[in-house]
Amino acid sequence: MSEPTAVPAAEPGAVAHPLRAVVLAGGLNVEREVSLSSGTQVAEELARAGVEAELRDADAELLPGLAAAPADAVFIALHGATGEDGALRAVLDLAGVPYVGSPAAACRLAWDKPAAKSVVRSAGVTTPDWVALPHSTFRELGAGAVLDLIVARLGLPLMVKPASGGSALGVQKVSRVEDLPAAMVSCFAYGDTVMVERYVDGVEVALSVVDLGDGPEALPAVEIAPESGVFDYTARYTPGLTEYHAPARVSAEVAARAAELAVRVHEVLGLADLSRTDAIVTPDGAVHFLEVNVSPGLTETSMFPMAVEAAGSSLGDVLARLLTRRAATTR
């Protein structure tokens, strides 16, 4: 089994020349503020690591700016559709701009949570049963009848979440059948398709993966302990409502199993450079895949930086090495 490992220390003089990077953050979606926080933190960490980093938004000035003053590589700290659905990366590919992160096609797959779950389940990864349906299905066939079938198939409690999106926006736990319609209506505010998933009781863990050139390696798992019991948007971004433990308080055997799952997900979905898988560890030690993030949060309180620190490494060093590797492939 794969053990979570420390990120190898950079060799002296690993950055062969002053690297110029552009950090993309912001975007025009509901995760803009989180993205700006991530981008600011990335730029500061890179500066401490000796990298010249310019923070830019993904707007109409981006492509002309990159053409006029080419960067060695771009770091994408955009969350939500702008940074994670693959469209921006496809444009950067067209422009010949190197960037850290997963390719466009892999991002499109990971962005679609039901599709990603289908792929990882086919690869032998355990994931809770689910059903994903567009708003039109409920409108055309009758919401009551469809919801009755969902409860009969998946039982209660249920997790209701948008079929795409991040930052736990729209995510709700539903324990009573009478609360399900309102949860669905709320969730449709974030997208046309809702995924309803069987609730799995256990410890939620964030499993970060990084590839610095020797293949993907799992960092120590971060245990998430929200006061409410559900790691929703409020629990994620309100100080004091969630405790984190890095490394997670699990046995060595479970930690190895979780690391193996995270690397497996990273590989079967065709991801690159870095990712963060969210999973549940049940009381019997089984690890259940929930979803994967191709642009994990990188703020001071985000879980990827916690995992890097738990591995005994510097976030700035890891980010600089990722950028250096991508820049080197284009020279």
234 in any annotated domain? yes
Find the catalytic residue in 56, 236, 264, 276.
276
Half-sphere exposure of 37 (CA within 13 A, CB side): 13
Residue 119 shares a structural domain with residue 263: yes
pLDDT digits (tens, 9 = 90+) for 276-319: 999 999 999 999 999 999 999 998 789 999 999 999 999 999 99
The binding site for Mg(2+) comprises: 278, 291, 293
Q: What confidence score (pLDDT) does residue 6 get?
A: 45
Active-site annotation holds for 244: no
Active-site annotation holds for 32: no
Active-site annotation holds for 167: yes
Domain count, the chain: 3
Residue 209 shares a structural domain with residue 194: no
pTM for the full predicted model: 0.91
Residue 37 shares a structural domain with residue 152: no
Domain that holds residue 82: 20-101
Find the catalytic residue in 264, 291, 302, 314.
291
Find out whether 166 and 31 touch, Cβ atoms under 8 Å: yes
pLDDT digits (tens, 9 = 90+) for 191-248: 999 999 999 999 999 999 999 999 999 999 999 998 887 787 777 778 788 999 999 9
Active-site annotation holds for 278: yes
| CATH, residue 50 | 3.40.50.20
Residue 207 shares a structural domain with residue 118: yes
Active-site annotation holds for 293: yes
Of 166, 193, 198, the closest CA to residue 275 belongs to: 166
Q: What mean pLDDT value characterizes the chain?
A: 91
Residue 228 shares a structural domain with residue 171: no
Residue 115 shares a structural domain with residue 249: yes
Find the catalytic residue in 26, 86, 297, 316.
297
Find out whether 83 and 295 touch, Cβ atoms under 8 Å: yes
